[in-house]
Structure 1
Amino acid sequence: MSLWFDKPEASAVVMRGDFRQSATVLSRYDEGMRVQWKLSADIPPDATDAADSYPMNAMFRNSLAAYGVQQLEFETDPSGTPTALVGADQVVANMERLLSTSSPDSTASRMLQTVKSNPLTIIDVLAPESMILALGQSSEAFTTDIGREWTVEGNEELKGMLVPTSTVWKLEAADKIRQTATFTAKITYDPVALMQSQRSSIDGMIASFGDRAKQLTETQLAEVRSAEKSRTVTYVNSTRDGSTLEVLENTVASVGGMTVTVAVHVWQEDQPPVLPAPHAWNARTLSGQRVEPLFKNNARPSIDLDQ
Structure 2
Amino acid sequence: MTEKTEKYYVPEQSKLPFIGSVGLFLTVFGAGNYIQDSTDLVNNPNSWGFYVMLAGIAVLVYMLSTWWSATIRESMGGLYSNQMDRSFRYGMLWFITSEVMFFAAFFGALFYIRVFVVPWLGGDGNNAMTHAILYPEFLAQWPLTTTPSGETTQAMGAWGLPAINTAILLTSSWTLTIAHHALIDKNRPTLILFTSITAVLGIIFMGLQMWEYQHAYEELGLTLGSGIYGSTFFMLTGFHGLHVTIGTIYLIILSIRCAKGHFTPENHFAYEAGAWYWHFVDVVWLFLFVFVYAI
TM score, norm. by length of structure 1: 0.25
TM score, norm. by length of structure 2: 0.25
More strand by share: 1
Bigger radius of gyration: 2
More helix by share: 2
